[in-house]
Structure 1
């Protein structure tokens, strides 16, 4: 077999589904935890972290940036849903690429997924680490120096709050799938409640003058804001992988057999 054939060979869906790994795990995630997993991943990054990067670029037109990013995310979500229904196995984009485009493309997708989650986790950890640092400062008066609380690009050496956030998330995941899903659902509902509360309070202080100029950087600023906001939509891979057991056992979304 030539190198070209090796790199372009695909793995049939039947072999992906019968790799033996599905016999060791039992379905523990239902519809609500899977929805909470996706919504929680999006809200956690986009609203509380990435918005601070998108708003300066787009100005008040950041609302348009969110709409554009949402439309792009909708197309991605529909694509993932279609592929998850046709290839109901774990691995998400890696498995989909392996079954349709070949081994080389799948290998690239797999490493891109690792990079995606590594970068996104780092960004979220830094953002929530900043909130944790502010919480400690406001409650017990503890202020960490920049070397221990800022990211490397801003004078930090070791971001201790970000490390604490990652360790806390790791501890929750080690509790088990069902327990971590319950925590994810609870925190997602909490974040939605916080957002609703923020909108209700912010409406009382709404001033139309704050929307002028609406798009100070024009289309370029809106596009830059949309690209930054789209970074937050990272829940598709986790949802399609987590839904594998539900799809194959319920019989509602089965691939070729």
Structure 2
């Protein structure tokens, strides 16, 4: 992959998740200040993106921040980072798959006047029994991924083009119903509401680091990975802010609660003009969320591949097919787990769990840059974080601020996840570690 395909990989993994799926949950938390929430989340992601860019140029492996932590902070910290990434990538795929099911249902209602029964389109706790569409898209993404990285990249390029077009179309239509009064007052729920919205919307930026999971498929990783990471984040942030302004200008923030198909609701209730615009947007949203499922699922599989190669998870995850180069067993196992998660867990719980895992992983990446600058200042770097160590330390501070905005239930679930991870590391990782047993080849 060249810089264009790597950028599209990151855009594909990022663009769509928050703006198509989570916006409806963040607006009731922040009100019109959700636009500021997007900027705050984007700035937080930017600090981490700069750190990712420096480390991706130095350590162009397949494991994203896990590989960076492994090379700079040691095996135990790398395990914690990898365990956070498993939570981040796996749960975020499930969350986006839930949103995909909502837009499919919306599309069926607009075009055919029918909808899937709630028992088969919503998880337990949200009025249903099993979310079949959410599980289905995960399985379809698995089929594409099993064909190989090149084929997956081509499919992703097409889908990214479609969803950018859909978002530009949404803005063009929504601005025809724009009312400046919808932004007054800008902070109806205070700064705390804006911060809570930013913490939820940080989920929207998960995936900009996807290019760093493709280091071994990159043509020139030292140069192309940093460019792709930063370029994708700038593109995504600009589109997010533009769409949020258009959506809130077209529909009062009090009406955003209660739906995952948020942008479609804006066009149906605020803009009018029949079903044409909502249908086109729903088609774009289905394609957009499909792209996110495909690329983030790819990242999850590659992280487990890197961890297996280091001996920290079973070698099954590192075995690749000789023709496609795809870790087939790992792809099937990961996809099966995510499909079950998507079918059984509500969206809100998935989104917050994803955000906390991501923020922890990003904190470790920023710290890795600071430590590596002190430990090996003369090492060749194709990209250097400007104003280090101030910039990466600001990244740590911003991530910590966002973490404090998450709810107690999310922290309890995260604590249980990390405790389980340390047990797995103690029972399996330490015993099979490549560092502890260098004569063994885990792959």
Q: TM-score range by the shorter chain?
A: 0.7 to 0.9
Further displaced range: 32-41 or 136-145: 136-145
C-alpha displacement at 1:174, in angstroms? 2.2
Matched pairs, number: 227
Matches within 5 A, 1:9-158: 29-158=1-130
Question: In the aligned structure 1, how far is the partner of 2:175 from the partner of 2:222?
Answer: 46
Structure 2 residue 212 is the aligned partner of structure 1 residue 240: yes
Question: In the aligned structure 2, how far is the partner of 1:140 from the partner of 1:68?
Answer: 40
Question: Residue 177 of structure 1 corresponds to which residue in structure 2?
Answer: 149
Question: In the aligned structure 2, how far is the partner of 1:113 from the partner of 1:171?
Answer: 23
Of 212, 215, 229, the match for 2:184: 212
Q: Which has the higher contact order (CA 8 A, sep 6+)?
A: 1
Native 8 Å contact 2:32 2:183 kept in 1? yes
DSSP 3-state at the match of 1:67: helix
Question: In the aligned structure 2, how far is the partner of 1:64 from the partner of 1:250?
Answer: 34
The TM-score normalised by the length of structure 2 is 0.49
Q: Give the aligned CA root-mean-square deviation in angstroms.
A: 2.0
Question: In the aligned structure 1, how far is the partner of 2:221 from the partner of 2:51?
Answer: 21
Structure 2 residue 140 is the aligned partner of structure 1 residue 168: yes
The TM-score normalised by the length of structure 1 is 0.82
Question: Residue 196 of structure 2 corresponds to which residue in structure 1?
Answer: 224
Question: In the aligned structure 2, how far is the partner of 1:139 from the partner of 1:84?
Answer: 45
Question: Residue 20 of structure 1 corresponds to which residue in structure 2?
Answer: none
Change (3 A) 1:100 1:168: same
Question: In the aligned structure 2, how far is the partner of 1:113 from the partner of 1:250?
Answer: 21
Unpaired segments of 5 or more residues in structure 1? Answer: 1-28
Change (3 A) 1:53 1:67: same
Native 8 Å contact 1:86 1:253 kept in 2? no
DSSP 3-state at the match of 2:205: coil
Unpaired segments of 5 or more residues in structure 2? Answer: 226-378, 381-443
Change (3 A) 1:226 1:251: closer
